[in-house]
Amino acid sequence: MYSKILDEILLLTESERKSRLNIELGQEDFIPDEVVATLMLSSWREKWPDADVYTQHLIRRLTRHVRAHVRKNPGWYDRGGGFDVTTEDFCYYILELMIEDKVRPCHAEEAFGNYVWKKCLDCADKLYAKKRSAGSSLDVDGVKAEVEANQCDHSDLSADVPLSPEESLIQIEEYIEEFLADKQKLGRIEEVVQLYLPDNERMAFTFHYYGKLKLFSKKPEVMTVSKMMGVSERSVRQYLANARRIIKERLT
């Protein structure tokens, strides 16, 4: 798909090539990101004298993609040490992977945007896994969330009889559903999920609400949250109840 454009670019003189690279998206003769990725990788591997030029252009484009993704995910930069540090670390990780990839053409040369997104997910996964391995009990946010969940529990206990997790679920369900139906409010829920839910609550919530998985099923072939997490239905319900309480508390 891009080989024709690449051939055309390679036929240009060095200065013509440089001015073509400066053409912005949406303008005539714009060079697609995939072609810039190929130019950068070829120049890097074959030690072209102007390798830095292509690398700098690729870095510029990559930074745009990564910044946009990082900006939409506060949980990433909260765990990654801030917006700028996270963006730069993600960019470096992606560049390193591209350079080390032995496949020709690599995924980045065929679908740059999709490649960058997938690699950002790799980085985000590492950030969440790192936090997890560091011990969720020491996780300040997690502790805060649990404390808040407990506080929320106490308010629920204002009734004479304490609510069971199932009863709490029913009570909060309508509230959460209402939020999930509203795009703006959905964004706020997503932020809370990324920033404040402890690991198990986050998994149960994401598998159930975003992954549309049932909590439990007697049919062995049906994928459920319980199966995915390798825990009982009761535990899943408890995680979800906690998650909902934390979300409700954060949203109000």
Partner 1 sequence: MIKKHEKTTISLDKVLREYSDASENFDADILGEFLNRYPEYAERLRNYASVWLMSRCATAEEIASEVVPDEEMLPIQSRLLSRLYSLKDSQAQTEDLGVVIERLKDIKGAQEFDRIALAVLGDFESDEEELLIAEYIDPGLVEEPSWIKEGFGKVLGCLPELVPVVLVEYRSQFTHHYSANGKPVKSEPRSWADAVESLSVSKERKKMLSSLDLEN
Which residues contribute to the site for partner 1 (CB under 8 A)?
25-26, 44, 52, 55-56, 59-60, 63-65, 67-69, 71-73, 75-76, 88, 91-92, 95-96, 99, 107, 113, 117-118, 120-122, 124-125, 128-129, 132, 190, 193-194, 199, 202-203, 206-207, 210-211, 213, 223, 227-230
Q: Which is nearer to partner 1, 25 or 170 (CB)?
A: 25
Q: Is 30 left (phi over 0), alpha (psi -120 to 50) or beta?
A: beta
> Which tokens is 225 given?
């949250």
Q: Which is nearer to partner 1, 101 or 167 (CB)?
A: 101
Q: How many CB atoms lie within 10 A of CB 238?
A: 19
Q: Which is nearer to partner 1, 44 or 216 (CB)?
A: 44
Cβ 183 to partner 1 shortest distance, Å:
12
Q: Is 113 left (phi over 0), alpha (psi -120 to 50) or beta?
A: alpha
Q: Which is nearer to partner 1, 30 or 175 (CB)?
A: 30
* Cβ atoms of residues 109 and 37 within 8 Å: yes
Q: Which is nearer to partner 1, 163 or 227 (CB)?
A: 227
Cβ 60 to partner 1 shortest distance, Å:
6
Cβ 241 to partner 1 shortest distance, Å:
18
3-state class (DSSP) for residue 133 = helix
- 10-19: long-range contacts (C-beta < 8 A, 24 or more apart)? 14/50, 18/53
